[in-house]
Amino acid sequence: MQRTTQLVLPMTTSCDKGWKIKEHHPVDNRLSQLERAFELASSGRCTTVADIKRKLREEGYLDDQVEGRLLFNQLNALMKKSTREPQSRSA
């Protein structure tokens, strides 16, 4: 697997070492919080938007963009579909 190098800014302004180099694998790239919210909604593991927001926080994401009626409707539709699919397959 090919490794890439990424520049990482110091976490605090009191850091006197300047830029830091961090090696990482390309698979370390995280999804955005909205992408992850849609992924959780489709997974069947969450049944409410509150569950999605809790799971995001547990995974180290912020949940501040998971707001609004249109987004809630989209997430709820995905959750409803994902919980319905396994039952229809076994019938």
Q: Structure pTM? A: 0.61
Cβ neighbours of residue 42 closer than 8 Å, sequence gap 6 or more: 78, 81, 82
pLDDT digits (tens, 9 = 90+) for 5-37: 444 444 433 344 454 444 433 444 689 999 999
Q: Which helix (H) or strand (E) holds 35?
A: helix 33-43
pLDDT digits (tens, 9 = 90+) for 77-90: 999 999 876 544 44
Cβ neighbours of residue 65 closer than 8 Å, sequence gap 6 or more: 33, 34
